[in-house]
Amino acid sequence: MTGPTFWNDQEKARAIIAELKTLNSVLKPFEDLINQAENLEATIELAEEAETDEFDDEVRSLCKQAEGDFSAFEFRSMLGGPNDHCNAFVTIHAGAGGTEACDWAEMLLRMYLMWAESKGFSAEITDREEGGAAGIQEATVHIKGDYAYGYLRGETGVHRLVRISPYDSAARRHTSFAAVDILPEVDDTIDIVLKDDDLKRDVFRSGGPGGQHQNKTESGVRYTHLPTGIAAESRSERSQHKNDANALVLLKAKLVRMEEEKREAEYAKKYDEKGEVSFGNQIRSYVLQPYQLVKDLRTGHEVGNPRSVLDGEIDGFIESYLRAKLAGEVH
């Protein structure tokens, strides 16, 4: 960065600055921990020399602070994947079950939007397909923030809700499913070549809940990568040009994630929007009736206050998954 030609290529310069920011987010806390350890050691030596309890409170305070800072650093160190520092796309699909499932999908959408807000991240809905009577059939949210993908990647899977249905006049208990998929937003430094011959482009009327613009122009864009069959679409913008760009970015993210995993069978399973969004494949259960509990079936982490979780307090589930992954307990 100190070189005289650093700013000659501004795009490359911005990429290097972004990389430096990512490295500093790990190195600076590490250096701070070393300084804390040295200060703590020096304080303990003073306390031993004094042979009184005058330094006890200070030692306890320094230990508590160091322990908290180390725990935070340890958590950040778990975000060491090649794309963990990236922004994220969160896609939610309603499972079978009609209105119930669509309403559940929208509840999950709200949960991730509130989580992003609590982190100070920006969140924009880039694609939304209404569910008919209520909720959503599908939606994609673009979440921008440091390590957004690293935090959220463990959320991929089927989420199950058990509750008394507000849409059932007999007030019976219903079970609903929705699938969540997390993709990294990759930058131009990652080489993913999309050949024109490999792409199929379709345009469609965006639709939506109503308004003057509804169904009047074919602004929605869908790209299909023919060699893999992977598709990505965007319909949220009024401009076809913007939807085109959004769809390409999302397609590129899907292809990068496929390369990252290198497991075609698992990849196909995650993208199955019908048969896999059902019993036996869920990663987390949200039970509102007959008792209240949210439990991650992979790690065993649970919370007895579902409302707080649905209001975006999911950090406990995120951390328990990352720790279990680090220990090799989950994939």
> How far are the Cα atoms of 83, 189, 229 from residue 255, in angstroms, in the given order?
13, 15, 11
Q: How confident is the model at residue 317 (pLDDT cuts 50, 70, 90)?
A: very high
- Extents of the domains making up the chain: 6-77, 88-189+263-326, 196-261
Selection from 111, 115, 105 nearest residue 158 by Cα: 105
In the chain, how long is the greatest CA-to-CA distance? 83
- Please give the pLDDT value at position 278: 54
Mean predicted lDDT score pLDDT of the chain: 85
* Residue, of 293 and 238, whose pLDDT is higher: 293
The arrangement of strands across the sheet holding 88-94 comes to 122-130, 136-144, 88-94, 173-184, 157-164, 282-287, 293-296, 302-303
Residues 52-73 pLDDT 10s = 888 888 999 999 999 988 988 8
- The token duo for 259 is 């390369």
Q: Does residue 270 carry a pLDDT above 90?
A: no
For the segment 143-167, the average pLDDT, to the nearest whole number, is: 92
Work out whether the CA dihedral 163, 165, 171, 173 comes out positive or negative: negative
Q: How confident is the model at residue 269 (pLDDT cuts 50, 70, 90)?
A: low
- Please give the pLDDT value at position 139: 94
> How far are the Cα atoms of 37, 73, 87 from residue 59, in angstroms, in the given order?
11, 21, 40
Q: How confident is the model at residue 131 (pLDDT cuts 50, 70, 90)?
A: confident
Q: How confident is the model at residue 275 (pLDDT cuts 50, 70, 90)?
A: very low
Q: Does residue 215 carry a pLDDT above 50?
A: no
The arrangement of strands across the sheet holding 199-204 comes to 199-204, 220-225, 230-234
- CATH fold, domain 88-189+263-326, is Alpha-Beta Plaits (3.30.70)
Q: Does residue 99 carry a pLDDT above 70?
A: yes
For the segment 178-198, the average pLDDT, to the nearest whole number, is: 80
Supply the angle between the helices 56-77 and 10-50 in degrees, to the nearest 10.
Answer: 150
Say if CB 224 and CB 230 are below 8 A apart: yes
Q: Does residue 331 carry a pLDDT above 80?
A: no
Q: Does residue 5 carry a pLDDT above 70?
A: yes
For the segment 268-290, the average pLDDT, to the nearest whole number, is: 68
- Please give the pLDDT value at position 267: 47
Least confident of 20-24, 103-107, 256-260: 256-260
Q: What is the DSSP string of 150-171?
A: HHHGGG-EEEEEEEE-TT-TT-
- Please give the pLDDT value at position 193: 73
Q: Does residue 107 carry a pLDDT above 50?
A: yes
Output the CATH code of domain 196-261. 3.30.160.20
Least confident of 37-51, 130-144, 270-284: 270-284
